[in-house]
Structure formats: structure tokens, C-alpha cells
Amino acid sequence: MNSGRALYGAIDLGGTKLLSLVATKDGEVLAEDMRPSHTDDGLDAVLGRMAESLHDALKTAGLSLRDLGVVGVATPGAVHYERGIVSEAPQLPGWQDVPLRDLLRRSLHTEVQVENDATAAAVAEHAFGAGKGVLHMLYLTIGTGIGGGIIIYGRPYRGKSGAAGELGHVVVQADGPPCGCGRRGCLEALASGKAIERKAEELLSAGKSPGLARLVARGERATVELLEQAAREGDKGAARIFAEAGAWLGLALANYANIFDPEVIVIGGGVANAGDLILDPAREALQAQAMRLPLRGLRLKAGELGPRAGALGMVALLRAADV
Amino acid sequence: MNSGRALYGAIDLGGTKLLSLVATKDGEVLAEDMRPSHTDDGLDAVLGRMAESLHDALKTAGLSLRDLGVVGVATPGAVHYERGIVSEAPQLPGWQDVPLRDLLRRSLHTEVQVENDATAAAVAEHAFGAGKGVLHMLYLTIGTGIGGGIIIYGRPYRGKSGAAGELGHVVVQADGPPCGCGRRGCLEALASGKAIERKAEELLSAGKSPGLARLVARGERATVELLEQAAREGDKGAARIFAEAGAWLGLALANYANIFDPEVIVIGGGVANAGDLILDPAREALQAQAMRLPLRGLRLKAGELGPRAGALGMVALLRAADV
């Protein structure tokens, strides 16, 4: 089936879902498979599920592992890129110094490369999406938490231990709300999906959002999606939560503009689906707060690759490494 | 006089002083001249004073401009490195889009390169000082304000407009004290010499620092130097001001560790002379607040080049550019 085209397999392991795909070196997706990751089942079960998922994607495309040069894996946590080791990953219970690359090499019988998922998504938006062709780009992914990736001189910047780019774990409001990382007032504690849902719950309990109250079924929790629907249907309390999260995001982006003076900042991840509700106030705060020169020519853009960003980033990385 | 060795001239233009020196490519200083910069006198007067100062340094060494391959100039403000233009510099009244390189070329009749002073100091500490031999390094200079420089892959990172590295103008305490940049709670508003002196004045007025009160002459202002002396002589209020500034610095450094995962963070500038008084609490806050992996192997060091850092950085830059 492989008619001379270089084909790559890629797996994006998330805290709740895993996505496998087969793509050409230009990022054209030939087939994909998505399923729950069930990370609570432990490492072996997750490894097995990753292999199954990739096999199913290959089957859909009428391909087999032999048709792939190499498989790329995007994973949460701090990744030692050269050695393919996941040092720590709060989203993956029990993972500590997991030699993910070597384990998957053995189970897939093929070459494997591993990268942090936010860095991979940054690479994807730079190669195929909102940051195409720029030299210096920042990427923030806003989902349950907030991750980040840094592109400098057109290449991913990883730092000394592969841990660079934790753009959600910077304190912007000392004495702010507690963050999962143990500090207070990190951007993640102010503008992530989790932070937004916490505020939505408070709004509900206080009886201050009739729009949201109508949408949330009895006994269920308020989600970012329901909050967005309530805001779009005119609920002011719901809209204000997005506006506040956006303002915090914009303050952090102004910090990043002053630090990096990048050409583009790309916002991806599930919460970015709320689009203008969060990006408009973020843009406003960025404009009002960053210094003049970094602002000149800076573009703030929504990610273009959606949930495929992590996996497509692995395709771009493998292509760049020419493996 | 130039017996085959490559010699460089360098001028560091500061808000209050300017320093000229002549050095070998290895950073050995042959002669130097320091004088007030009197930036209030306007651009032409400052340019004249820079030329005079460099000529005097050359004279001391028995050299002339003809012995220099090129002259490097470190200046406050955002600098377009390729074009040698100072876009904006709050410390230099009236400077806006000043073509400093071309103006000095004409007045010195020699080749000139211009760079931001904090970036130059970062390059110097990386080439000759506390960051020798590392790949990824951050530099913060704490004087009246707080500036920064970023070394990535062993080279200065400037961003799209030469404005990158404003490591003092990041908000860490939203709703904190006002900053010169127009925002509130920037690191500069919490841990700079100016911020420390403002707190020292408050302490004095409140009659809460007998040690400092003894040192400050009637009608004079409290300086960082006097506050340091008071702290070293056992004044608890004075020591607490340094400890608080150090804690804010450490919080910002933890942010930078999570963002950059660097090998070394170097702290230079006048306030860094207070040494352990500010660096010990900063190190403590950094250790307590940064993520585990970026902390592993990270070193926090005092700058080694003192007030020569900016000028020596120009020597290193010119050497690297082979001009």
C-alpha cells in the first residue's frame, strides 16, 4: 500500500482520550482512531490500548505497521526527548521515569519517538497551522489544565531537561486561588477549564446564573461547554466568567510578549473552542498591558488543528528529524 | 601599538554613568574610563561624551581608534540589533528610534555595533563569567530597575523586534504596587532598587528602623547601600525589606524556571551586591516554588563581572560576529 510516500504513525495520549492517526509527511491524515485512555488502569493496559488504537487506524487505511517508517507519541508530562523517558506526569497516575519509547518499541516492533504533548501541538501549529512560517511562536493549550510549547528559531525549545514551556504554571496573582502544582495564583488556577468550571459551580450554587441552571441537569456538574452555551444565550454571569478568565489569560500573554517578543501566540485546547468569549477579553488585556515594541506586529490566534494538534506535531517532528 | 592582537572598544551607556573600555577578544581589559552620562543634556551631548570617554580610555592604553577593529555600544532600551536603532528607552529622555549605530559611526569614523545593555551583560556573563559554557541561561540585572537577557543554545535571544528579555516587566502580583511601565505588581515594582528604596523610606518615616535612621543624614534619602549596611549591623526592619524583595525575586525565578528550564540563572546589577541578603531568600523561594524537573541541576549564581558586564558583553558579541 505504501506507494513510495513517507507515512508516519502518531499517537496522542491524553488524560481521558487517546488519538491515533496515520498521516503523510505533509500532515494529510489518512485514517484515525479515538478511544478512552483509561489511564487509571495502569501503564501496561495503557500501552496495550495505544497499540490497539494505532493498529485499528492502520487497518482503516488498509495499512500495517510495516508501512510506517516510525511512530511518534505525544504524552503529558516532562519528557526527555533524546531518551524517550517520561520523567513525571501528574495526569498519568503512577508514571515516574517511564521509558515510554523503549517500551513501545518492544510492543510495536518499530521505531518510536516521544515528546511532550503541548510541545508537539506547538510544533504542529507551527508546521501546519496558525504559526506557519514564523520564527518565534508561543503556544498555550487550555483544557482541564494549561500547557505550553515554545518555538524559537523555528524549532521546539525544550530547556535543559525537556521541562521548558510550562506556560500555565507561572504565578500572576500571588495569593490567588490554589493551583494543582502546589502554588497559588498560577495562570492555570485562574483561566483553565478546571478554574472556569469551579467558578461556574460557585455561580450555580449562588443561584446567580438562571441560564446555566436551566442547562445543567439535576445532580450533574457545570461544564465549560454548558457555560459557553449559557453565555451565548445571554446569561451575564456565565459571560463574565469567560471574560475574567480571558483577562487573566491576557495578563499572562502580556508577560509572555515582554519576555519572548514572539511573532505569534497560538491558543489551542478545548477551552479555546469558546473562541471570542475568552479570546476577545484576552486580546484586550494583552493590548492594554504589553510593552509597545513587542506588541507591534504580534498576532494572537486560535489554534487551527483542534484535537489532532498533538499527533500532527509528532508527524512534523519525525519529518524534521528525517526518520 | 596593536601587535597583532584583536582589540575591541566598548561603551556601556547607563542612565547615570557611562563606561568605556578597551579589551582583548578574551575579555582582558587594557584600559577603561568611567564618567557621568548626564542623559538629560540630550542626544548630541551624550554622543560627544561617549566619544570623549572612549578616546580617554584609548589614550590611557597608549592606543588610538585606528587600533580597534570595531566599537560595541551597550544601551538601555529596545534595540534593533541588525540596524543599530534604539526604538525606545525610558531611561534616555527623548530617545525614540535613534539610529545610534550610524550616528556613532559618523562621529567615531569607525565600525559600530549596538545592543541592549541587559542582553549584552547576559552575553558577557555567558562568555566570561557565571554562565560560562552553558547552553541555556537567564540573566537578571537588578539596579534602579530590573532588566533581563536570555541565552538560548549559547546565543542571545532577541525576539522579533529586539525587545525580548524584559524579565522585570512581568506581573507576579496583580493589584500589586504600581510599576514605571504602567502596570501593577511587575517584578520591577517589587524587587528593584527603586522598590527597595521606597520601602526603606516608608520604614524610616514610620520610625521602624533605628539602624537606618542612624545612617541616613538629615534631609538625605535612604539608599540600597545604607539599607544594606543597616541590615548587616543587625537592623531587623532593614533585613526584612531585603528578605521580602528576595522572596518576590524567587517567585519570579520559579516562574522562569518553569518557562525556560535553564541551566543557570545569573543575577547581576547593583542590588545584587547585597548578595546573601537578597539571594538567599530568593533561592529559598525558587526551591520551594519551581517544579521538580526544572529545579534539578539548576544553579542560581551572582554575576561575576560587576559594572563591566555590559561593555564586556559587547566585546563577546563582536568577537562572535568576527568583526
Instruction: Give CA–CA dist A319/B321, Å, rounded.
Output: 32
Per the CB < 8 A criterion, the answer to whether B67 and B31 are in contact is no
Count, residues in chain B: 323
Instruction: Give CA–CA dist A188/A298, Å, rounded.
Output: 23
Closest CA to B225 of B215, B214, B240: B215
B contacts of A169 (beta carbons < 8 Å)? 255, 258, 291
Query: Side chain identity at B290, as an amino acid letter?
Result: A
Which of A87, A88, A167 is facing B259, going by the closest CB pair? Answer: A167
Per the CB < 8 A criterion, the answer to whether B35 and B17 are in contact is yes
Per the CB < 8 A criterion, the answer to whether B290 and B161 are in contact is no
**pLDDT given for residue A218 in this prediction:** 79
B contacts of A162 (beta carbons < 8 Å)? 261, 293
Q: pTM of this prediction?
A: 0.94
Instruction: Give CA–CA dist B45/B55, Å, rounded.
Output: 15
Placement of cell 537592623 in the chain: B235
Catalytic, out of B12, B33, B117, B235: B117
Question: Taking residues A37-63, what's their average pLDDT?
Answer: 95
Beta carbons of B261 and A171 less than 8 Å apart: no
HEC letters along A126-167? HHHCCCCCCCCEEEEEECCCEEEEEEECCEECCCCCCCCCCC
Closest CA to B136 of B121, B157, B167: B157
B contacts of A149 (beta carbons < 8 Å)? none
**pLDDT given for residue A69 in this prediction:** 81
pLDDT digits (tens, 9 = 90+) for B275-288: 899 999 999 999 99
Residue of A nearest to B264 (CA): A160
How many Å lie between the alpha carbon of B102 and the closest alpha carbon of chain A? 21
Q: Would you place residue B4 in the very low, low, confident or very high pLDDT band (cuts 50, 70, 90)?
A: low
Residues contacting residue B169 through CB under 8 Å, at least 6 positions apart = A255, A258, A291, B146, B179, B181, B183, B186, B187, B188
φ, ψ of residue B231 to 5 degrees: the values are -65, -45
Euclidean distance between the first and final Cα of chain A, in Å?
19
Per the CB < 8 A criterion, the answer to whether A318 and A280 are in contact is no
Task: Read off the C-alpha cell for B61.
Answer: 592604553
**pLDDT given for residue A3 in this prediction:** 47
How many Å lie between the alpha carbon of B171 and the closest alpha carbon of chain A? 6
Task: Read off the C-alpha cell for A150.
Answer: 515554545
Which of A169, A251, A261 is facing B163, going by the closest CB pair? Answer: A261
pLDDT digits (tens, 9 = 90+) for A180-214: 888 999 999 999 999 999 999 999 999 988 999 99
A contacts of B289 (beta carbons < 8 Å)? 171, 182-183
Average pLDDT of the residues of chain B? 93
Q: Would you place residue B313 in the very low, low, confident or very high pLDDT band (cuts 50, 70, 90)?
A: very high
- B117 catalytic per annotation: yes
From residue A214, alpha-carbon distances to A53, A220, A228, B23 in Å are 38, 12, 13, 74
How many Å lie between the alpha carbon of A163 and the closest alpha carbon of chain B? 6
Per DSSP bridges, beta strands A7-13 and A70-75 are: parallel
ipTM higher than threshold 0.85: yes
Range in A164-178, A245-259, B208-222, B274-288 with the lowest mean pLDDT: B208-222
**pLDDT given for residue A78 in this prediction:** 86
Per the CB < 8 A criterion, the answer to whether A146 and A190 are in contact is no
Cβ pairs A/B, distance under 8 A: 136
Instruction: Give CA–CA dist B51/B18, Å, rounded.
Output: 11
What b/e string do you get for A150-176 counting C-beta neighbours within 10 Å, with b at 16 or more?
A: bbbeeebbbbbbbbbbbbbbbbbbbeb
Question: How many of the other CB atoms lie within 10 Å of CB of A16?
Answer: 11
Which of A148, A165, A171 is facing B172, going by the closest CB pair? Answer: A171
**pLDDT given for residue A5 in this prediction:** 64
Contacts 24+ apart (CB under 8 A), B177-182: B180/B90, B180/B145, B181/A291
Beta carbons of A293 and B87 less than 8 Å apart: yes
Q: Would you place residue A1 in the very low, low, confident or very high pLDDT band (cuts 50, 70, 90)?
A: very low
Confidence check: pLDDT of B2 > 60:
no
Beta carbons of B164 and A263 less than 8 Å apart: no
B contacts of A173 (beta carbons < 8 Å)? 173-175
Q: Where are the alpha helices (DSSP H) in chain B?
A: 43-60, 100-108, 117-128, 187-191, 193-205, 210-215, 224-232, 236-260, 276-289, 292-295, 309-321
How many Å lie between the alpha carbon of B289 and the closest alpha carbon of chain A? 7
Q: Would you place residue B318 in the very low, low, confident or very high pLDDT band (cuts 50, 70, 90)?
A: very high
**pLDDT given for residue A220 in this prediction:** 86
pLDDT digits (tens, 9 = 90+) for B130-184: 999 999 999 999 998 999 999 999 999 999 999 999 999 999 999 999 998 889 9
Residue B142: strand pairing partners = B146
Confidence check: pLDDT of B20 > 80:
yes
Beta carbons of A260 and B292 less than 8 Å apart: no
How many Å lie between the alpha carbon of A65 and the closest alpha carbon of chain B? 34
pLDDT digits (tens, 9 = 90+) for B195-237: 999 999 999 999 999 999 999 987 888 999 999 999 999 999 9
**pLDDT given for residue B38 in this prediction:** 93
pLDDT digits (tens, 9 = 90+) for B40-59: 999 999 999 999 999 999 99
Beta carbons of B161 and A261 less than 8 Å apart: yes
**pLDDT given for residue B273 in this prediction:** 83
Q: Would you place residue A34 in the very low, low, confident or very high pLDDT band (cuts 50, 70, 90)?
A: very high
Task: Read off the C-alpha cell for A236.
Answer: 451575564
Beta carbons of B254 and A291 less than 8 Å apart: no
Beta carbons of B291 and A169 less than 8 Å apart: yes
Which of A161, A291, A298 is facing B181, going by the closest CB pair? Answer: A291
Instruction: Give CA–CA dist A88/A80, Å, rounded.
Output: 10
**pLDDT given for residue A94 in this prediction:** 83
Residue B271 per-residue DSSP state: G
Catalytic, out of A26, A40, A67, A117: A117
Which of A148, A162, A262 is facing B159, going by the closest CB pair? Answer: A262
A contacts of B292 (beta carbons < 8 Å)? 88
